[in-house]
Every structure is written in structure tokens, then in C-alpha cells.
Amino acid sequence: MNAHNTDGFTFIETLVSITLILIITLAVSTAFITVLLHNDSASLSLHESWLLLYADQELRENIEPIVFPYWENSVSAARMLRQQIIDQTHIPGITIAGADVIIKDGAAHGLEVSYSVLSGSAVYTSSILFDSAGDAVKR
């Protein structure tokens, strides 16, 4: 009979397995710490995206239903509306940078409104067509 017992692990096998577990733990914890450190920029970006969607929705709700009668000078009316949008639109967290009238075939078809988030420097634009634009302009 064999007097030596071969069950269990040797000291070297135990050290190698502990080292492998430590390397895996280090990699996972480094990734976790990196995610936690960059979480602030992700939440800021998410907040900015929400503000942009909200601003676009508010502008569309105010501008899209407008219908200019065919006998009215729609371009001059749209220019007055453009100035109103710039002066009187107050969306929390958003600054209206400007607005331009979209003109096609001598008639006003909509407004192109530029705005920015107060915490950022990028300027975003929404092109919004009036209901009176009809099917003459592809949406």
C-alpha cells in the first residue's frame, strides 16, 4: 500500500489560486470605481438631453398649431411671431439663441428656433412647421 495521501491541494496550488482571485477582484473593482467616478458626467448628459427634449416639445406645442390665412402676409406675421418667441419664451434651463423664418414659395412655412442649455455651450436647432404650411413642405 501507498503510505502518502494525495488528496487536497499543495501550497503552490493554493498560492496560484489566491493570486488569480486577487487579479480578477482587482480588475472588477477598478471597473466599478471608474464607473462611479464618471457617473456625474453621465447624469449631467442625461439631464441635458431631457431639457432638450422638453424644450423641443414646448416649442412645437406653441408653434405648430399656427395657421395663417392665405390672404394674410404670412412672412411679416411670422417675423412678428419669431420676435415673440425670442422675447417671451421662458423654458426653465433653456436660453433661446434666435429664430429664423422658414420661407418657401414666398410664404412662411415655419420657424427654425435655436436654443442652448444653460449649463452647456452647444446650440441646438428645431425646425418647426406651421399647420398652414400644409403638404407643400415635406415634414
pLDDT digits (tens, 9 = 90+) for 7-32: 777 888 889 999 999 999 999 999 88
- Give residue 133's pLDDT: 60
Instruction: Kindly state whether residue 117 falls inside one of the protein's structural domains.
Output: yes
Provide the residue type at 118 as one letter.
Answer: L
Domain enclosing residue 54, as ranges: 38-136
Instruction: Kindly state whether residue 25 falls inside one of the protein's structural domains.
Output: no
Give CA–CA dist 9/69, Å, rounded: 90
Give CA–CA dist 101/87, Å, rounded: 15
Instruction: Kindly state whether residue 11 falls inside one of the protein's structural domains.
Output: no
Instruction: Kindly state whether residue 90 falls inside one of the protein's structural domains.
Output: yes
Instruction: Kindly state whether residue 51 falls inside one of the protein's structural domains.
Output: yes
Instruction: Kindly state whether residue 97 falls inside one of the protein's structural domains.
Output: yes
Read off the pLDDT of residues 42-86 as tens digits, 9 standing for 90 and up: 666 778 888 888 888 988 888 888 887 766 788 888 888 888 888
- Give residue 71's pLDDT: 66
Instruction: Kindly state whether residue 76 falls inside one of the protein's structural domains.
Output: yes
Task: Tell me the backbone φ, ψ of residue 9, rounded to 5 degrees.
Answer: -110, 150
Burial class of 37 by CB neighbour count within 10 A (0 to 12, 13 to 18, 19+): exposed
Instruction: Kindly state whether residue 1 falls inside one of the protein's structural domains.
Output: no
SS3 118: coil
**Domain count of the fold of the chain:** 1
- Give residue 137's pLDDT: 46
